[in-house]
Structure 1
Amino acid sequence: MSPSPHLTNLSAALMEKHLFLCIFLAFFLHFSTLSFVHAQVTNISTDKQALLALKARISHDPSNLLTSSWSTSSSVCHWMGITCGARHLRVTGLNISHFGLTATLPPQLGNLSFLSRLDINNNSFYGALPEEYAQLRRLKYLVLSRNSLSGELPASIFDNLPNLQLLYLRSNMFEGRIPSTISKCRSLQNLSLSFNNFTGAIPKEIGNLTQLRAIYLGYNKLQGEIPKELGNLAKLERLSLPNSYLTGTIPREIGNLTLIKYLYLYSNKLTGK
């Protein structure tokens, strides 16, 4: 006796459902494995290798601080100048300011994917700022002041730093134009690029950074006029542009800055009232 059409249809439906579940489980296991491998690759050992790349570039450590503290036999979270997050146990802070170090910046620091603070203020770092630091999406504070860093600022470095609040590059030897892409750092509150060799005009796009409270661009080799777009910065309290070869008149829009406390424009070639 041949099976009834009802039983045939039921059997086909069950087989189709079983096949679907097998395919689903196969995809699930595949992507779960990939996620597990990725998690394994980007763990604390990734941070450790990035920091060891920095240590390898240090040619002068007068106090022997990193040489003695940054040991492969101890946890990265116990190294001097390193802060780790309590939740993920990943490196969130690198603060080696005032150590008197001489080195170049390695691109591997761009792999510190949980880093929110990078502070190497007052050392003797030299060379370029690596483009790989654009990968530091969680970065809030970038403090590289009082070093000997040089070259142009990579325009791409500001493409993926939405959380950056403080950018201090004062007293280095950076040159070239200030990238207009800095306007993508919409959380930026403090911008200090003074005492460098920046040229060209002040990007009018800075007027889009509505969270800015302080701008320091003095003692550069800038050209052109003060952008009227700076008048959009309603929260601005400090505007410092002295000794920067600026020309033209002071924009009337500067009068919109009702919270301004300090306005430094001396030693330029400004005209008018």
Structure 2
Amino acid sequence: MGRCWNISRNGPVLHGGRPHLEAMVSEDCSTHHRLAALIILQEVKTRLDGGPSFHDLIVLVWNLAGISILQALSIYLVLFFQKRVRYCFPCSSTADQSALLAFRDRMITSDSHKILAKNWSVTSSVCDWMGVTCHARQRRVTDLNISSMKLTGTLPPQLGNRYFLVSLNISSNNFHGELPRELVHLRRLRYLDFGINNLCGEIPSWFGSLYKLQYLSVRIYSFTGSIPPSISNMSSLETSWLSCNSIEGTVPTEFQNLHNLKNLIIESNQLSDPLPLHAFNLSSMESVSFLNNSLSGILHICHRLQKLTWLCLAENNLIGRIPSTVSQCSLLRYLALFGNHFTGSIPNGIGNLTMLEDLYLQMNNLTGKMY
């Protein structure tokens, strides 16, 4: 079937000045071979849209089409070019301006909205707008911070078209509705703060596609459902702050793959399964808080948490003894285990925590004295 591919040494065939699927299939091959070639191209194009790796696509074309590796590479480049044309045109600050104007227009009238309506104007550069920071050379919006401005409204899908966005902070406002799925395209994001709003729905599984994200905050929100395992795909994540929602279930075991996670704060939710011990197997962890949930089980901790400085498991349903291994968390400054069902004596090892500043063990069934 190799003769059906219309690829020359000078590069891919163009159709009307642009690469085209049918133009890559030779007119000389038989009807059924031509149809098969088009099906192969469509399959590769579909997988390209889904975001597989360069290597996977080349191998796919090579294996399916029975052609040389150079021809496979040429097919890949044509399809990749088509994708870039579709998603990146126009690549200018004008597109950033249009998206932010759509954002502005969705906000309900308020004093702060009036400020934005005046400041976010087509008469000035988007890089001069309030709360907007642009890349010094490319002049594309990289940072949007409109936190604590008493804004009300919904998030437009156009916000997901800001491919250069590295930081997005809309916290401490009154935005409502669900998160638009188009935000999945913000693949360069490193900082994302949606906290203290009235946004609703479940934690979207597409969060896992934001693999460069380092900071995620959706605290004081209206999230329901469970934590999606796909969050474990955020391999760069350092801080996850999910407090004050209505999240159920437990922390997925996949979280043990987040080897850069330092801060896991999931307070005042409805977590009810046994304490997720896998969350305590990350040597990178510095602070953990599951305050005010309904987690149960026996506490096993500090075997690998030499960097831990803050631990709050208060107001849960934990049972058994406070483990003597807690003394292995030698950097602890804050330890709160109050409001559980711990029994037995307080382990003497707690006295060896020389960095400890705050200790809360009340509202348990502990006996004896602490020395």
TM bucket normalised to smaller: 0.7 to 0.9
Q: Sort the Cα spacing of 1:40 and 1:128 in 2 relative to 1 into closer, same or farther, 3 A.
A: closer
Q: Distance in 2 between the 1:92 and 1:246 partners?
A: 39
Gaps of 5+ in 1: 1-18
Aligned to 2:203: 153
RMSD after superposition: 2.2
**Higher RCO structure (Cα 8 Å, ≥6 apart):** 1
Aligned to 2:143: 93
Aligned to 1:180: 229
Aligned to 1:208: 257
Q: Distance in 1 between the 2:132 and 2:200 partners?
A: 26
SS, match of residue 223 in structure 2: strand
Cα deviation for residue 87 of structure 1 reads 2.5
Aligned to 1:270: 318
Once the two structures are superposed, the pairs formed by residues 17-166 of structure 1 within 5 Å of their partners are: 24=11, 27=14, 30-31=18-19, 40-63=89-112, 64-158=114-208, 160-166=209-215
1:249 maps onto 2:298 in alignment:
yes
SS, match of residue 245 in structure 1: coil
Counterpart contact for 2:251–2:279, Cα < 8 Å: no
Cα deviation for residue 204 of structure 1 reads 1.6
Q: Distance in 1 between the 2:86 and 2:314 partners?
A: 58
Cα deviation for residue 40 of structure 1 reads 4.1
Q: Sort the Cα spacing of 1:117 and 1:36 in 2 relative to 1 into closer, same or farther, 3 A.
A: same
Q: Distance in 1 between the 2:230 and 2:115 partners?
A: 37
Counterpart contact for 2:262–2:285, Cα < 8 Å: yes
What is the TM-score when the length of structure 1 is the normalising length? Answer: 0.85
Q: Sort the Cα spacing of 1:194 and 1:36 in 2 relative to 1 into closer, same or farther, 3 A.
A: closer
Q: Sort the Cα spacing of 1:228 and 1:116 in 2 relative to 1 into closer, same or farther, 3 A.
A: same
Q: Distance in 2 between the 1:266 and 1:37 partners?
A: 51
Cα deviation for residue 85 of structure 1 reads 0.6
What is the TM-score when the length of structure 2 is the normalising length? Answer: 0.64
Q: Distance in 2 between the 1:220 and 1:258 partners?
A: 27
One-letter amino acid matched to 2:147:
S
SS, match of residue 111 in structure 2: coil
Deviations 1:86-145 (A, max 9, x none): 132111011001111011111111100000000011111111112211110100000111
Aligned to 1:14: none
SS, match of residue 83 in structure 1: strand
Cα deviation for residue 25 of structure 1 reads 8.0
Query: Number of paired residues?
Result: 252
Counterpart contact for 2:267–2:289, Cα < 8 Å: yes
Q: Distance in 2 between the 1:105 and 1:137 partners?
A: 18
Cα deviation for residue 218 of structure 1 reads 0.9
Deviations 1:147-206 (A, max 9, x none): 111111111232x21110000111111111111110000000011000111111221211
Q: Distance in 2 between the 1:58 and 1:199 partners?
A: 31
SS, match of residue 263 in structure 1: strand
Further displaced range: 91-100 or 30-39? 30-39
SS, match of residue 256 in structure 1: coil
Gaps of 5+ in 2: 1-6, 20-77, 322-371
Cα deviation for residue 78 of structure 1 reads 1.1
Counterpart contact for 1:129–1:153, Cα < 8 Å: no
Counterpart contact for 1:210–1:232, Cα < 8 Å: no
Counterpart contact for 1:92–1:114, Cα < 8 Å: yes
